Amino acid sequence: MSLHREPDGTRYSVLVCRDVTSNIEKERQLEATTRQLEHIASHDDLTGVPNRAEMSRFLDAALETARKTDRRVGVLHIDLDEFKQINDTHGHPAGDAVLKATAERLRRALRKEDLVARVGGDEFVVICGNLTGLNDLREIGGALLDAVNGPVKWQNGSLGCQISVGAALYDGQSTSAEDLLLQSDFALYEVKRKRRGRLATYDAELHRKHARTTDLQADLLKAIRNKDLSFYFQPVVAQQPGLVRGMETLVRWHHPTDGLITPDELIPLAQSINVIAELDMLAIDAALDLKVKLNEWGYDSILTSFNASSELLAHPDFCDRLLSGLSFRDLTTDDIIVEVIESVVFESHGVATPFVKTISDLDNFGIFTVLDDFGSGNAGIAQLAKLAIRGVKFDKSICLSILEDPTVAIVYKTLIGLCNELDLRMVTEGVETQEQAERLRELGCTNMQGYLLGKPMPEDALRRWLDDYTASAIAPEERPRYLKAN
């Protein structure tokens, strides 16, 4: 607009107008697109709930508010139980249906001010602000369990849907967003380990446990880097004609303050900090070093074995490391055996895992792999013939029930027949009594491992054990006293 004045003093103004409707329309479109883009960037495609980035922003803001008031913030870490099995059995569309249903049920069960986000494959995080204490959070967690746990319709039937929940509360002091997420995740891990389908709260006891785990993780990392782990060896014996056939390498950790830590605790700990392949590489060295010693001591026919985790089999250096370890010590590929547990070779329902490729590579080099814990669960027995597996180790659960449960004996006998047909070597683990050994022999398996014959022992004890065992010949009644006591 402009103002003008005529020489006679008349004033007038000029107003220039342009039709900008189309511009406004464009702006609206742009704004809508921006909002859509923002939504895409902050939400999960499949379920439509916020994603991890959005959850982080929301949690930061909730904590900010809580720090200024006496209200609390809670985090619920949620994980679907048996999700992998649903995917494996019914396919990915079924898995997607369960995820969508879970997200929707969570969303509906929550209060308006709470947020649910999908932060991983089958992992959700719920952030609840404005709480008075842990009881509020427990109540919300309980309501979520009630709302989610239940079948999901799928095609003409239904799929099981169950969650486990770990809860942690901002305590009004120094907890950061990252701490809260770690704490709720730790609580979730506890539920998953103990009894699924429930809620666990990060309380004082879990806090102590968490602190110990964190310390142990740091100590273990140091111990592995400093090669400060010990390896024990347990004999595999052929009861007729009484020869020692093998020595299995089993890891032990002598912790400076906590004492001896066994694989039950050690292996999951190593896995939790991604050092299990490194640990296994140390076991390879220990197995190869022992083989050299056995040869020096005159026990050339005894082979050594080590346990390979899936992480080791997936490690790009694994085969090279094993082969160079053998040639460095002037050993051959016949001198060593790799033990791999069933679940590494087969997923549920006998589906072969990608690790069968490594096993076949090993076989091409002339290195034998045996299937460990055989008969304990999900073996793809039907697939055994197709794989480069050269032997099996029957799980100790078989030994435990072989005398009491006639069905176990029948199944065991059938498995032995099958292995014989496939020309697989067999060892039965966990033999503790003469009666068990007797029964196993009757049923057709003569290679045994267990406390009856020899416990896992350090190298110096092993030398003594070997000399005594060999000297005492084979008959059980002729064994040295300390062996019987085992």
- The residue (of 103 and 276) whose beta carbon lies closer to Ca ion is 276
Q: Are 79 and 123 in contact (CB under 8 A)?
A: yes
**H helix or E strand, kind and range, residue 438:** helix 434-443
Residue closer to ligand C2E, measured from CB, 167 or 453: 453
CB of 116 to ligand C2E, least distance (A): 37
Is the Cβ of residue 234 or residue 369 nearer to ligand C2E in the bound state? 234
Give the residue with the Cβ less far from Ca ion, 168 or 392.
Answer: 392
Concatenate the DSSP letters of all residues of 355-405 into one string: THHHHHHHHHHT-EEEEEEETSS---GGGGGGS---EEEE-HHHHHHTTT-
Tokens of 95: 């898995």
Peptide bond into 151 cis (omega under 30): no
Report how far apart the first and last C-alpha atoms of the chain are (Å, whole number): 104
Which whole-number Å values give the CA distances from 24 to 18, 19, 28, 30, in the listed order? 12, 10, 6, 10
Report if residue 154 touches ligand C2E, rule: CB under 6 A: no
Residue 456 in contact with ligand C2E, rule: CB under 6 A: yes
Q: Residue 63 CB, nearest distance to Ca ion (Å)?
A: 47
In which residue are the tokens 């099981």 written?
160
The nearest distance, CB 390 to ligand C2E, in angstroms, is 16
Query: From the list ligand C2E, Ca ion, none, which binds 154 (C-beta under 5 to 8 Å, kind-based)?
Result: none
Quote helix, strand, coil % in the chain, to nearest 5. Answer: 50, 20, 25
Side-chain-facing half-sphere of 338: CA atoms under 13 Å: 32
Q: Which residue is nearest to Ca ion (CB)?
A: 339
Please report whether residue 307 would count as binding ligand C2E according to CB under 6 A: yes
Q: Figure out which of the listed residues 87, 102, 213, 234 binds ligand C2E, where binding follows CB under 6 A.
A: 234
Residue 430 engages ligand C2E in binding (rule: CB under 6 A): yes
Burial class (CB in 10 A: 0-12, 13-18, 19+), 350: middle
From the CB of 466, what's the least distance to ligand C2E, in Å?
A: 17
Pick what 213 binds: Ca ion, ligand C2E, none; C-beta below 5 to 8 Å, kind-dependent.
Answer: none
Q: Are 358 and 345 in contact (CB under 8 A)?
A: no
User: Judged by CB under 6 A, does residue 325 bind ligand C2E?
Assistant: no
Nearer to ligand C2E, 181 or 279 (CB): 279
User: Which residue among 450, 457, 469, 479 contacts ligand C2E (CB under 6 A)?
Assistant: 450
Applying CB under 6 A, does 280 fall inside the site for ligand C2E?
A: yes
Which CB sits closer to Ca ion, 128 or 402?
A: 402
The reply to whether 267 sits near ligand C2E by the rule CB under 6 A is yes
Output 409 or 452, the one with its CB closest to ligand C2E: 452
Stretch 371-390 residues interacting with ligand C2E (CB under 6 A): 372-373
List residues binding Ca ion (CB under 5 A). Answer: 307, 339, 372-373, 429
Residues 94, 98, 102: CA angle, nearest 5 degrees: 170
DSSP state letters, 117-170: EEEETTEEEEEEEEESSHHHHHHHHHHHHHHH-S-EEETTEEE---EEEEEEE-
Could you say whether residue 263 binds ligand C2E (CB under 6 A)?
yes
Closer Cβ to ligand C2E, 118 or 393, answer by number: 393
The torsion of the CA quartet 21, 25, 26, 27, rounded to 10 degrees, works out to 100
Question: Which residues contribute to the site for ligand C2E (CB under 6 A)?
Answer: 234, 250-251, 262-264, 267, 279-280, 283, 307, 309, 339, 341, 372-373, 396, 429-432, 449-451, 456
